[in-house]
């Protein structure tokens, strides 16, 4: 049952991300967004730890690292130690769509989440400026 719940959440999240990617002019990235989450190497640890409440936090973290390394819309894809590369605009857009989609799927407020999370997310200077501008416009509009 937990796998079905997770699957349905992923479909809902992907739908919202697709809508935002379409608005941002990157519909294909919306189609392929987070496909890797359906792989057993990501889905099983996520469901076991996050939904089922079973032991396996380390497996969950490894699955998150694998996911970030497979998907260029994650900030950690662009970091290596203290070196931070700027994200190309199409992946910035996908990241924004991801954050909006996650907020919508979980009924959260993106601006509030950003206020709480921005200090924990490593972004290049230009990427951060771009995201702050877009989130500010999202909040106003």
Assigned domain for 52 exists = no
Q: What is the distance, to the nearest Å, from the Cα of residue 126 to the centroid of all Cα atoms in its chain?
A: 19
Assigned domain for 127 exists = yes
Instruction: Name residue, tokens 């997770």.
Output: 6
Residue 24's domain spans which residues?
A: 2-34+71-140
- DSSP SS3 for 119: helix
What is the tens place of the pLDDT at every residue in 88-103?
Answer: 999 999 999 999 988 8
Assigned domain for 41 exists = no
Is the pLDDT reported for residue 141 higher than 50? Answer: no
Instruction: Name residue, tokens 């992923």.
Output: 10
Assigned domain for 101 exists = yes
What is the tens place of the pLDDT at every residue in 42-66?
Answer: 999 988 887 666 677 888 899 999 9
Rounded to two decimals, the pTM is 0.88
* d(C-alpha 77, C-alpha 70), whole Å: 8
Q: Pick from 1-5, 55-59, 73-77 the range whose average pLDDT is largest.
A: 73-77
Helix %, strand %, coil % of the chain (to 5): 75, 5, 20
Q: What is the pLDDT of residue 2?
A: 84
The count of domains in the chain is: 1
Assigned domain for 62 exists = no
Is the pLDDT reported for residue 140 higher than 60? Answer: no
Instruction: Look over the chain and give the mean of its residue pLDDT values, rounded to a whole number.
Output: 90
Assigned domain for 66 exists = no
Assigned domain for 92 exists = yes
Assigned domain for 53 exists = no
* d(C-alpha 18, C-alpha 51), whole Å: 24
């Amino acid at each position: 049952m937990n796998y079905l719940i997770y699957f349905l959440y992923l479909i809902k999240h992907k739908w919202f991300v697709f809508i935002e990617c379409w608005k941002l002019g990157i519909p294909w990235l919306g189609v392929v967004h987070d496909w890797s989450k359906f792989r057993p190497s990501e889905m099983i640890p996520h469901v076991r730890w996050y939904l089922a409440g079973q032991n396996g936090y380390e497996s969950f973290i490894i699955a998150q690292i694998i996911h970030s390394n497979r998907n260029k819309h994650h900030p950690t894809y662009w970091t290596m130690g203290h070196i931070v590369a700027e994200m190309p605009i199409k992946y910035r857009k996908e990241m924004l769509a991801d954050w909006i989609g996650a907020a919508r799927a979980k009924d959260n407020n993106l601006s509030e989440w950003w206020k709480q999370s921005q200090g924990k997310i490593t972004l290049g200077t230009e990427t951060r400026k771009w995201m702050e501008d877009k989130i500010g416009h999202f909040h106003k509009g």
